[in-house]
Structure 1
């Protein structure tokens, strides 16, 4: 796999640049649209062939059959029980469909896609020689990235994250203003020569993964590498808003998506936590989240998936909690001590079967009996 060219002052771990000495300053530059982030933990997959979009539409959660050149979206691959297996950003340039995935998921995703080709006119290719940079729209970083991006069809391969708005066919479980509405994240695909030019340009401002992760967590934005485990349903992490089209044709796992959305509630829910920063502790992924009663009794109700220090909000985290977890204050347990956590509900415990959520067409497409709840 290609590595990003050496960058002055970069502190890296396992090929991922964590920071350049000052993560808080880097966050501010990134948020203003002035900095680029070398995303060494992303891998690109290219799909070619005349049937690539209709084929991809038939096997994933997103409606991509009519995706036009220059458009972006996001998709999930589910197992037969509706659990999340793979996640990918999607961009089409009119000739190829480009998928950007977390590196640990890229090869498994590509392998699964290859198995699903059968006789379709589709070719699947992992492109490890290509590199990915991230940035926020509206500043100098966007201009630099777009000018450097791969453009085999005169269309720069730059993915626009759909997270700021609920996508067609999607649904938002959170009630009220969503912090993701201001999360104007982009990722550009580069070849090695273009990356080398950016790296050599003294005017390019760089930020590390710690800065990018802090802004992602503040926007309640889930990632495969962090928020997905062997039990994950898309409803639990608010992924219905950006990566699931509730009214498209059948795909693997759709029956579970429909049942949970129309008839039940997801067994778990994602929540945002504002952590007490007085002890300068930051929990690792997997740290248990507890409810502590007035009598000192403890009940473990979930675990941390992501945590970071935000330049304005202080220490923050995302956690996957049991549906039964109360909506009040919680405690995060770490080896160095407990951390008090104020909870902000993202997906409520009663998400799913609520009156204002539209019903899905039954998979058999036969007329269904009227729902008695619709009469009230």
Structure 2
């Protein structure tokens, strides 16, 4: 049995995905295909590193040393063709935490911050929590993908946007922005002096033939106005270990960001997150390459099955393990749609409207699971629709 084929019992492990079904869906009888973690074991090298550290048995204060930083530098260079310096790195429990800190450190109350909707729900929260104004540049559905309305983007920038939270690869629509798109974003941000907060947490999870380009890698000028957020958490299924990092070439921005972390009382990674990050980047490449092929195959399977047997339409994602499903053919409002998938299909998906009004009539599916689980989830959806 392959490393991604085994079905693990994750119940009673304090798993958000599996142990909060009643709280989230008001039912235990659903197959969870929602929150963004995978049902796969981390690479064996990661598990071995954590086990070895645990056997030492002493868990005192820990430091992110040069070995960890150099593992990140090497990974980013090899996987994303971007040469960064160890001193550009700042560490955080998660990307959302970094966004909170960056917004507090580098913007002021009432500043306008732009997002491209539909988009990852916490983007709304990190803006509103600090009394900043949300400005939306809605993505445009074109054929079976999404594109950026650059005329609208420039118009919004002209109104005085201070910062732009970029999502690349984009969650939930699965778009991997290409070089031309990123260059136009960069041009406009430089023209209107807009700070870029780039969430690139899914950067390693692009499908073959789709390469992730960090926007800060385009030029020294754009790197100077960008804070890039990355982590091994989505890539290697390590979210519970809370280890991420920001890459900031601008020395003053980095100083301000790290000052904000200090004000909030955060001073470094936990021991196990530290160990896992280094081991994943040093030894996890073969595991990841196999995963990327599997996820592309999973995507193709879901598209083929749902579009052959129902009137649902699946956006042809280019990365992530999240699928954006157009459910307009069911003719239900968002509440009825969520109820249908829970009560009739018995599948727990994310409600599209949670990603903004643009997500109404859509659902988000997590395909980061063994094929057996995926096929069961797809079958339940098809049967529920055809038995209405």
Same fold (TM over 0.5): no
Q: TM (normalized to structure 2)?
A: 0.29
**Larger strand proportion, structure 1 or 2?**
1
Task: Name the TM-score, length of structure 1 as normaliser.
Answer: 0.30
Instruction: Kindly indicate whether structure 1 or structure 2 has the higher relative contact order, using CA contacts under 8 Å at least 6 residues apart.
Output: 2
